[in-house]
Amino acid sequence: MPVVVSPPTPPETTHEARRRSSADNGTRDPRRPGTAVAAVSAGRFVLGIDSGGSGLRVALAPADTGRAAFTTVCAEPVRTGADGIDAGHLLEQVLPAAGGLLVEAGPGAVVDAAAVGAAGMATLGDRLRAELPKAFADSLGVRRVALAADAVTAYAGALGGRPGAVVAGGTGMIALGTDLTAWRRADGWGHLLGDSGGGAWIGRAGLDAAMRAHDGRRGGSPALLARLEAVLGPATGLPGLLYPRTDRPALLASFAPEVGACAAGDEVAARILREAAAHIAEAAAAVCPGPTGSGTDGCEVALTGGLFRMGEPLLGPLRGELARQVPHARVVPAEGDPLHGALEIARSLAGPGLRLPHHPTLLFVPGVT
């Protein structure tokens, strides 16, 4: 079956740094966060939270419709320390934000269910699982709560409750799939142990090729060396720029677009992207349900995240690799982003129940998982 890859639709964004003012009388278009409409006034709502390395977003949406009616961006990303993700830091931002959104929603608005998607939830989320359910119950009266890894909310945003697979590519890379009985995960192990084919992986390979050109070693790319010096300064200064930083993966990933820009005229850059595509397809193949578990139309695979906005230099070789490694794959556009996925999970909790499989760390539902 031929594979057709289209760049995923960019997620809807907000431009505020904190909760929007109530100057618009608290009425926002449920189709577009942050725009004014006739009232989505009082009623039953769900709360969605998306916590990642770049920020913390909160959305309040009607329990029976498909888009967020009220959204806010909190002041800063949630801290991670020796005990994992800092539950207190998340709550001190989310609870006031949720309270403000409820005021905007109108008198009598209540939250039926909440879902939190957080980067690192699976491995660093013990404090969130221990503290958030009670805090939400005490402060918001919410007793139906789901705590999910960000890859799960990315999945729910992209495919809803259908079987299939999602590849989330940004600084890192993770693939997650399900036949609705269990989850399958591939990669997402960080830039030192994996994330093969992700932004940091591509950026590091491009910088390696640039440094090889600087030294006169085989495998070097003068084109990538020129881009390194244009965006990061002299090649000899790169170690001093990179190694002291705590956000090394982000700096590496920032060079990935330069690799994409050089690929059309530089074989070394093109080879890096072919290898990245092979790694991404390998991860998709590892998690995609087989033909018996994915329906008669093949396994739906959605690509989500900023990595795939690189476009044809990466998507071209990825089409070929997916067709070769996952011949039953059917690549579809992602329906929404992780915040949309958190809302969809919360709606399922408030309504017919979750179709996605529960899991003690990937998708934790207190009292059920």
Name the band, by pLDDT with cuts 50, 70 and 90, for residue 234.
Answer: very high
Distances in Å between the alpha carbon of 162 and those of 116, 285, 301, 332? 20, 17, 11, 12
Sign, Cα dihedral of 109, 110, 112, 113: positive
Show the CA angle centred on residue 123, arms to residues 119 and 128, nearest 5°: 70
Per residue in 308-319, pLDDT (tens digit) is 999 999 999 999
Show the CA angle centred on residue 146, arms to residues 78 and 288, nearest 5°: 95
Whether 150 has a pLDDT exceeding 50, the answer reads: yes
Strand, coil or helix: what is 55? strand
- DSSP letter at 26 equals T
Whether 26 has a pLDDT exceeding 80, the answer reads: no
Residue 33 CB burial class (10 angstroms; 0-12, 13-18, ≥19): buried
Name the band, by pLDDT with cuts 50, 70 and 90, for residue 22.
Answer: very low
Averaged pLDDT for residues 46-75: 85
From CA 347, how far away is CA 354, in angstroms rounded? 9
Largest CA distance in the chain: 70
74 Rama sector, left if φ>0, alpha if ψ -120 to 50, beta otherwise = beta
Name the band, by pLDDT with cuts 50, 70 and 90, for residue 24.
Answer: very low
Residue written as tokens 């009292």? Answer: 367
Closest CA to 222 of 230, 213, 231: 213
Token digits for 206? 């491009």
Mean per-residue pLDDT over the chain, rounded: 86
Q: What does pTM read for this prediction?
A: 0.79
Name the band, by pLDDT with cuts 50, 70 and 90, for residue 66.
Answer: low
Per residue in 312-355, pLDDT (tens digit) is 999 999 999 999 999 989 999 999 999 999 999 999 999 888 99
From CA 98, how far away is CA 221, in angstroms rounded? 50
- The superfamily (CATH) of domain 22-160+337-364 is ATPase, nucleotide binding domain (3.30.420.40)
The CATH code of the domain at 164-332 is 3.30.420.40
Query: If you write DSSP's letter for every residue of 155-195 in order, what string do you get?
Result: HHHHHTTSSEEEEEESSSEEEEEE-SS-EEEEE---TTT--
Per residue in 164-184, pLDDT (tens digit) is 999 999 888 999 999 999 999
41 or 148, which is more confident: 148
From CA 109, how far away is CA 89, in angstroms rounded? 25
Closest CA to 220 of 180, 271, 177: 271
Strand, coil or helix: what is 85? strand
Predicted pLDDT of residue 28: 38
Kindly report, as residue ranges, where domains of CATH 3.30.420.40 are found in the chain. Answer: 22-160+337-364, 164-332
Name the band, by pLDDT with cuts 50, 70 and 90, for residue 67.
Answer: low
Name the band, by pLDDT with cuts 50, 70 and 90, for residue 65.
Answer: confident
Predicted pLDDT of residue 4: 42
Predicted pLDDT of residue 247: 81
Predicted pLDDT of residue 80: 86
Q: CB of 357 within 8 A of CB of 53?
A: no
